Amino acid sequence: MHPRTARTLGWLLLPCAVAAGLAGWYVTREPASPFSDEQARATDDPALISRGEYVARLGDCVACHSLPGEPPMAGGLEMATPLGTIHATNITPDPETGIGAYSLADFDRAVRHGVAPGGRRLYPAMPYPSYAKLSDDDIRALYAFFMRSVQPARQPNTPGDIPWPLNLRWPIALWNGAFAPASPYVAKDDQNALWNRGAYIVQGPGHCGSCHTPRGLAFNEKAFDESGAPYLAGALLDGWYAPSLRNDPNTGLGRWNEAEVVQFLKTGRNRHAVVFGSMTEAFNNSTQFMTDGDLQAIAHYLKALPGDPSRDGKPWQYQPEPTLAQLERPGVRTYMARCATCHGMDGKGQGEWMPPLAGATSLLAKEAASAINITLNGSQRAVADGRPDAYRMPAMRAQLSDQETAEVLSYIRSAWGNHGNAVEAAAVAKLRKDTDPASPSPIILQMR
């Protein structure tokens, strides 16, 4: 090789080698933790443990990391992702199969940065992009709760089935750098304490954006706080449409006041809606256990988020349906036979027990997934103060064909002033194939 060519190649290879080295360091490094210099194990301070248990309720840790009839926090829940199936891990303090050998710094890096000991990256199905906003004090308390109050369970983790090369985890470091927040929540000086507490819970431990914020092409949440217009604007996830939590009058909370938001989170129902779908588990295991002050803070923060008229359209107004001419419309007879007893011929429901269909967000949204899913599969029972509710939507998949389901939902989505788009039988068939009936029993999981 000519000496000049060799020198040229050398100069070209040098920056490539440096870049490769820096990339290798970046994807394998452990994030910094404020607890790195602390060697002490978790304390037995009852107040700290109690606070940690409450933070775990705020974060709904039990819902993903527990299965009915199995030890609390022992993992195993199957979770579908765009790349394949993974299973929630054992987060009991078992030293071999759980997190019992974690230091406080290890725990912090896993919860707030998605990095397990040894630099192993966690999939962002674990909502660490939201948990990154947890305060140091809440992390310390959460660690004390898991290490001192949760019972160890020797239960090996179940491997996922994500195929190679999609199962390589080092690219997650690059994803984190591009999309995931890395700093705790900082209170806004121009907002009051109630607003800031609500923002902290919603953005951080409550990880509301994980379901209610639309995602980009890289499966990233498009915004993590109120500075981004897409934040909590509604999103399609796992066969359900998580509605807007902003002040959109059709598909969000625009027609709710703060007291009604609190009532919904505390009791699972109000005059507008009843919890169903994925929100049932969040209510059963998390929101009803929050303090009244925290629920008021959440409601205050959410009601401060403006809606988007260009996205949400003309505000819904109730319009009575004709009583005779409507009988010739497709889906009307099915509605009368299957739905009207509970939801009323006028679509107004029955108080707080049978939710109205007139003006329901799931029927005004462009996405019909929630309406189809609950019609096919029904809903789990909500349990408030230990008492299962008496009225739940039954599964209709055995009673109605795809075409009948599409027709009745198309009618409901266009009646009483509703202006949702029509439902196609093909969309019903797809969700029938991809979903299962809801468990008839409520899923209430023990924390410890």
> How many angstroms separate the CA atoms of 113 and 126, rounded?
10
Predicted confidence at residue 325, as pLDDT, reads: 61
> How many angstroms separate the CA atoms of 338 and 328, rounded?
17
The pLDDT tens digits for 256-307 are: 999 999 999 999 999 999 999 999 999 999 999 999 999 999 999 999 999 9
Predicted confidence at residue 448, as pLDDT, reads: 78
> Given a cut of 80, is residue 335 above it in pLDDT?
yes
The pLDDT tens digits for 1-24 are: 556 665 555 555 545 444 444 444
| Opening angle at CA 446, ends 444 and 448, nearest 5 | 170
Instruction: Give the distance from CA 344 to its chain's centroid.
Output: 31
What pTM was computed for the model? 0.92
Domains 35-153 and 313-434 share a fold: yes
Share the mean pLDDT of the chain. 90
Domain ranges of the chain: 35-153, 313-434
Predicted confidence at residue 168, as pLDDT, reads: 87
**Bridge partners (DSSP) listed for residue 87:** 78
Q: Are 376 and 276 in contact (CB under 8 A)?
A: no
Provide mean pLDDT across the span 112-140.
Answer: 95
> Given a cut of 90, is residue 30 above it in pLDDT?
no
Provide mean pLDDT across the span 190-205.
Answer: 98
Query: Any idea which of 168-177, 369-378, 418-427 has the lowest mean pLDDT?
Result: 168-177
φ/ψ of residue 180, rounded to 5: -95, 130
**Which amino acid is present at 115?**
V
Pairing between β-strand 387-388 and β-strand 383-384 as defined by DSSP bridges: antiparallel
Provide mean pLDDT across the span 42-62.
Answer: 94
164: Cβ–Cβ under 8 A, 6 or more apart, which residues? none
Predicted confidence at residue 324, as pLDDT, reads: 60
Neighbours of 196 (CB within 10 A): 18
> Given a cut of 70, is residue 146 above it in pLDDT?
yes
Predicted confidence at residue 19, as pLDDT, reads: 42
Neighbours of 335 (CB within 10 A): 21
Lookup: tokens for 239: 């066969």
Neighbours of 26 (CB within 10 A): 12
Domain 313-434, architecture per CATH? Orthogonal Bundle (1.10)
> How many angstroms separate the CA atoms of 122 and 80, rounded?
15
CATH code at 35-153 = 1.10.760
> How many angstroms separate the CA atoms of 422 and 405, rounded?
11
Q: What is the CA radius of gyration of the chain?
A: 24
**Bridge partners (DSSP) listed for residue 274:** 269
Predicted confidence at residue 39, as pLDDT, reads: 61
Residue 302, CA atoms < 13 Å, CB-side half-sphere:
31
218: Cβ–Cβ under 8 A, 6 or more apart, which residues? 175, 178, 179
> Given a cut of 90, is residue 138 above it in pLDDT?
yes
Predicted confidence at residue 17, as pLDDT, reads: 46
Predicted confidence at residue 5, as pLDDT, reads: 60
> How many angstroms separate the CA atoms of 211 and 245, rounded?
11
